[in-house]
Structure 1
Amino acid sequence: MGAPAYHPRALLCVWLHGFMTGIRSSRRLEAACRDQVPYLWLTGWQRPDHNTLWRFYQAHRDAMRRLLKYTVATAVELDLIDLAVQAVDRTKIVANAAGDRTYDVAALQRLLNRTEAAISELEARNEGGDDSPQPRLPEALQTAKELQQRVKGAMNRLAQQERVKRVNLTDEDAQLMKGRSGIITGYNAQAMVSSLNPETAKGNGMLITAAEVVNSASDSGQLVPMLERAEEITGQRAPVTLADGGYHTAAGLEAGEQRGQLLVMGERYKDSCTGPYFKDQFDYDAASDIYTCPHGQRLPFRGLRRSKLTGSHSIRIYRASRTVCRACPAFGVCTKDKHAGRALRISSSEVLLLKHRQWMRSDEARSLYALRRELSEPTFGILKDQMNARRFLLRGLANVRAEFNLLATAFNLRTLWRVWAKSGRRSTRARVEIADNLATNVQMHRNFGLNPVMLSAWSFAY
């Protein structure tokens, strides 16, 4: 008759508990279900093998992405989270891919030439003699032909996507990025974080209110999507958002102003903004449409340039005389252009940028910006050091997004468990309230069959 089926809630609990404790591979979870009492208790003393665990994870990985929203909904409903201030930040996570298998177009062509030469040699070797043809391709020839197809697919991708200059043959979505330890082949993981409400949670901690993974090293276009995702998950629009200079763009500031959200955001090129000849130091006369430099030289309007972001001719160019600039004592500091004078490029967002830059020098802005490190950096530290998230185990952008989303869910469950444990010392009723709210929000009785009793089991096991 075979072994009895495993209940979905037991398998889900195994994966959640595994992500919370840094065990994220199906084989290690199989061993844990065989040897560790918390896992044995969660499964009812059953011992699912790695194939069963992997099939469940593969089938329900996308559905599990909803769990993050339910953990946040629980915290919001019980007033455990302070949504007055939120912080967005990113970390680079290594992909499950060999770094030496990243190629540009020229390297791919050389690899393709070598592969095709090897295929020709293997085919000639197998066609020689009077032996009857083999029913299937030899393993070496089959491997070479598979590599040939991957290389051709990678070359087609580079031809279609102009911005992508290199591709990794192990994980084609992973990109070369600069991390803290040097250049890595990986992904850019984004997280929006809010702190716990110290009055209701009776302690410190953070919750991730939005999570995303992109394969672009730049953060400049990620601010607005993260603001929208956090609002969707929490059901509220946080008044203040903290971000570092990597997110600083005029489009982001305009979106924050339209949404009524205060953005406390550092300057991307902070050092260049503080120099004595930065464009903020030039005086503008609206009547004559002329800028005047700190040495009293005039920079009249010279024409319009196309903006790389909008594609329209929205950049106004103001330029001083070449002769005047070369005779100026600031030549070599203000400008080094020997063929033209100092130029200012003024966008339509210049007033907003200047306003934000001046406000960031205020005591209020500095006080708020100091909170950013207290929220985002400890979050990524816990994810990487305590939850073993220094490297993705899956491949492909869609898969690593689901993996990071489940990591964020596990992070929130760890935080809720600590609140639960503290509330247990004060009141059993508070513990039951958290369990009931989490089970109601998740609706696991419909999606996975998880109920408050199983949530209690999982939490006490942790």
Structure 2
Amino acid sequence: MANKKPVFKPYYQHQLMAFPPTFDELIPADHTVRLVDKIINVINVEPLLNAYHIRGASNYHPILLLKVLVYGYVTNTYSSRKLAIACRENVPFMWLSGMSKPDHNTINRFRGVRLKHALRSVFEEVVKYLAEEGLLSIDEVYTDGTKIEANANKYTFVWKKSIQTNKAKMQKQLDEIWNYAQSVATVEDLLPEPPTAKIVSPESIQAAVDKLNEVLANNDQVDKKTKAKLHYLTKNYPEAIAKYKHQEEILAQRNSYSKSDPDATFMRMKEDHMRNGQLKPAYNVQISTSNQFIVNYTIHSNPTDTLTLKSHLEQHENSFNRPPKTLTADAGYGSEENYALLEQKQVESFVKFNMFDKQQNVHYNQKYPFAANQLFYHEQKDAYICPMGQSMEFVGIVKKRTTSGFQQQVRRYQAKNCNNCPLNGACHKSKDDRLIEINENLQRHKQKAHQLLNTERGISHRKKRCHDVEPVFANIKQNHGFRRFMLRGKQKVEIEWGLLAIAQNIRKKAA
């Protein structure tokens, strides 16, 4: 039997063509790059064009650079250097850029500077375009947040508690030397109290140091150890307290920040590769979705979802001139402030409160029969009835202010003669008579939310939330490998996430 040889298709690497193929012929009709090109061409990019000045040398066209960046984020190419290489070697990028070859500095400068005030309008135009196509709804949204690691060093941190501890130590040491100075000097030499008695500031620290030097520096009665301490605090304390003041201004309401990106706050990361939930500098990314399209996004330095909803809704209003008609979110947003805000804006909200799921379980309510929400309220007496039938009478109103500045009003009710009660110890753990606090406004909002969440529409929205907004984060993080921002600073991070949001919407449209 004759040996059979393998058959190969012809391979002529240097074959000349009379009519070379164009890039358009090399790209399939249903390729995603064509959709990027089409959408950017039809939307209004006037704000982006206005970011350029008339004077100066010629620039690469902003639409060219925008298309390259958006398609780069669609294809998981986030690095400006890799994008510059793709414009020289990758056929879809070469077609999209019209054979232009912007370098990585041009691409990076365009992303970080030119898009600063223009990308939000580009994102909004893409959302409106998709809404006109009937692919998403601006009025019915699902909201959630996730934490994404910042491009910051996790070992260069500043903590508010550490600053407060150090300031307290400084004040204590100053007070000790001040008291010593009082014992070796005449009464006329010193102020009646140290300048740090009321407030620790650069001015008060400097005043205390100057006064101590005035009294102790040339005093022969002062021992060498005290003079060494005085020399140390004279040299270091004014500079240190000025540094702490600057750090506290950066912190504002936060508890921490990274020195390499002061806008990033240390947050506990679920997806940490060490799987130990360690703290890392990160941003809290909030999105609202519709049919897995991103309708709105905001970036926050605060790790708590509860405090992000107000500004997130304001951004929705700024983008589309009205708040959404319906908003669905998990229990992380169920606060009195958020319920009041949604009610004020007339948004139909399907937002759980923190104990909603547990209260759905009958066994849970039976497990805690003495809880305040289980007690009977006597409306005519304005009193709650304890498990033993004793009347817990109204004793006053307390006003509280949350970390965001929202004021709450709490009514207090207290029992009498709990010492001899047979349920003492099971009903409550306090040594005194039982005292309960009732926030009537929050109770009203919870009752309204409970009723709405258990309607057919409420159950439908609760079920849909899990597979509308959460898969968007999973897709960006897991499928497209974006787990850490490349740019630093909140403003640039917003640009980067805006590009990711546009890319997500285009990928979803293509699918």
Cα deviation, residue 311, structure 1:
6.8
Q: Verify the 8 A CA contact 1:26 1:51 in the aligned structure 2.
A: yes
Report Cα offsets for 1:44-89 as digits up to 9, x if no partner.
2222211121122223122122111001111222322245631000
Deviates more, 1:234-243 or 1:54-63: 234-243
Q: What is the DSSP-based 3-state SS (H/G/I as helix, E as strand, rest coil) of the residue aligned with 1:81?
A: coil
Indicate which of 366, 371, 375 corresponds to 1:278: 371
**Higher CA-based Rg:** 2
1:156 aligns with 2:246: yes
Report Cα offsets for 1:93-117 as digits up to 9, x if no partner.
000011111132686799xxxxxxx
Cα deviation, residue 239, structure 1:
3.2
Q: What is the DSSP-based 3-state SS (H/G/I as helix, E as strand, rest coil) of the residue aligned with 1:59?
A: helix
Q: Look up the equivalent residue of 2:412 and give its one-letter code.
A: I
1:214 maps to 300
1:171 aligns with 2:261: yes
2:215 maps to none
CA distance in 1, matches of 2:136, 2:357: 36
Q: Look up the equivalent residue of 2:60 and give its one-letter code.
A: Y
Deviates more, 1:366-375 or 1:234-243: 234-243
Q: Verify the 8 A CA contact 1:72 1:234 in the aligned structure 2.
A: no
Indicate which of 453, 463, 476 corresponds to 1:383: 476
CA distance in 1, matches of 2:438, 2:321: 40
2:140 maps to 85
**What is the 5 A alignment of 1:54-203?**
54-62=108-116, 63-83=118-138, 85-104=140-159, 156-158=246-248, 161=251, 163-181=253-271, 182=277, 183-195=279-291
**What is the 5 A alignment of 1:223-262?**
223-234=309-320, 237-262=323-348
Q: Verify the 8 A CA contact 2:383 2:413 in the aligned structure 1.
A: yes
Report Cα offsets for 1:7-29 as digits up to 9, x if no partner.
32221111111111221221121
2:102 maps to 48
Q: 1:153 to 1:26 in 2, by over 3 A?
A: farther
Q: 1:293 to 1:157 in 2, by over 3 A?
A: same
Cα deviation, residue 276, structure 1:
2.9
Cα deviation, residue 222, structure 1:
2.1
Q: What is the DSSP-based 3-state SS (H/G/I as helix, E as strand, rest coil) of the residue aligned with 1:371?
A: helix
Cα deviation, residue 228, structure 1:
3.7
Cα deviation, residue 272, structure 1:
7.1
Q: What is the DSSP-based 3-state SS (H/G/I as helix, E as strand, rest coil) of the residue aligned with 2:64?
A: helix
Q: 1:372 to 1:325 in 2, by over 3 A?
A: farther
Q: 1:313 to 1:177 in 2, by over 3 A?
A: closer
Cα deviation, residue 269, structure 1:
4.1
2:67 maps to 13
> When the two structures are superposed, what TM-score results if normalisation uses the length of structure 2?
0.65
CA distance in 2, matches of 1:150, 1:374: 51
Report Cα offsets for 1:280-316 as digits up to 9, x if no partner.
2122122211011344232111111122236767211
1:329 aligns with 2:419: no
Cα deviation, residue 153, structure 1:
5.3
CA distance in 1, matches of 2:136, 2:395: 53
CA distance in 2, matches of 1:376, 1:209: 11
Deviates more, 1:86-95 or 1:57-66: 57-66
1:292 aligns with 2:382: no
Q: 1:160 to 1:20 in 2, by over 3 A?
A: closer
Q: Look up the equivalent residue of 2:130 and give its one-letter code.
A: A
Q: Verify the 8 A CA contact 1:187 1:213 in the aligned structure 2.
A: yes
Q: Verify the 8 A CA contact 2:138 2:295 in the aligned structure 1.
A: no
Of Structure 1 and Structure 2, the greater helix share is in 1
Q: What is the DSSP-based 3-state SS (H/G/I as helix, E as strand, rest coil) of the residue aligned with 2:60?
A: coil
Q: What is the DSSP-based 3-state SS (H/G/I as helix, E as strand, rest coil) of the residue aligned with 2:98?
A: coil
Q: Look up the equivalent residue of 2:67 and give its one-letter code.
A: C
1:142 maps to none
Q: 1:230 to 1:294 in 2, by over 3 A?
A: farther
Cα deviation, residue 219, structure 1:
1.1
> When the two structures are superposed, what TM-score results if normalisation uses the length of structure 1?
0.72
Q: Verify the 8 A CA contact 2:257 2:281 in the aligned structure 1.
A: no
Indicate which of 296, 306, 322 corresponds to 2:399: 306
Q: What is the DSSP-based 3-state SS (H/G/I as helix, E as strand, rest coil) of the residue aligned with 1:381?
A: helix
Q: Verify the 8 A CA contact 1:95 1:391 in the aligned structure 2.
A: yes
CA distance in 2, matches of 1:8, 1:151: 47
Deviates more, 1:42-51 or 1:363-372: 363-372
CA distance in 1, matches of 2:252, 2:316: 31
Q: What is the DSSP-based 3-state SS (H/G/I as helix, E as strand, rest coil) of the residue aligned with 2:306?
A: coil
2:414 maps to 319
Q: Verify the 8 A CA contact 2:414 2:436 in the aligned structure 1.
A: yes
Q: How many residue pairs were aligned?
A: 367
Cα deviation, residue 251, structure 1:
2.1
CA distance in 1, matches of 2:250, 2:61: 45
1:402 maps to 495
Q: 1:257 to 1:104 in 2, by over 3 A?
A: closer
2:80 maps to 26
Cα deviation, residue 401, structure 1:
1.7
Q: Look up the equivalent residue of 2:135 and give its one-letter code.
A: L
CA distance in 1, matches of 2:447, 2:371: 12
Q: 1:413 to 1:102 in 2, by over 3 A?
A: same
Q: Verify the 8 A CA contact 2:120 2:498 in the aligned structure 1.
A: yes
CA distance in 2, matches of 1:266, 1:313: 19
Q: 1:162 to 1:300 in 2, by over 3 A?
A: farther
Structure of greater relative contact order (alpha carbons < 8 Å, 6+ residues apart): 1
Report Cα offsets for 1:185-233 as digits up to 9, x if no partner.
10100000011xxxxxxxxxx2111100000011112223323433443
CA distance in 2, matches of 1:408, 1:71: 10
CA distance in 1, matches of 2:407, 2:93: 59
Q: Verify the 8 A CA contact 2:331 2:352 in the aligned structure 1.
A: yes
2:11 maps to none
Which structure 2 segments of 5+ residues have no match?
1-56, 167-238, 272-276, 360-364
Q: Look up the equivalent residue of 2:414 and give its one-letter code.
A: R
Q: 1:76 to 1:151 in 2, by over 3 A?
A: farther
Q: Verify the 8 A CA contact 1:150 1:169 in the aligned structure 2.
A: no
Q: 1:83 to 1:358 in 2, by over 3 A?
A: same
Q: 1:41 to 1:162 in 2, by over 3 A?
A: closer
Q: Verify the 8 A CA contact 2:159 2:257 in the aligned structure 1.
A: yes
Q: 1:351 to 1:260 in 2, by over 3 A?
A: same
Cα deviation, residue 388, structure 1:
3.2
Q: 1:160 to 1:12 in 2, by over 3 A?
A: closer
CA distance in 2, matches of 1:402, 1:102: 24
Q: Verify the 8 A CA contact 1:73 1:233 in the aligned structure 2.
A: no
CA distance in 1, matches of 2:408, 2:285: 34
CA distance in 2, matches of 1:311, 1:382: 36
Which structure 1 segments of 5+ residues have no match?
111-148, 196-205, 419-462
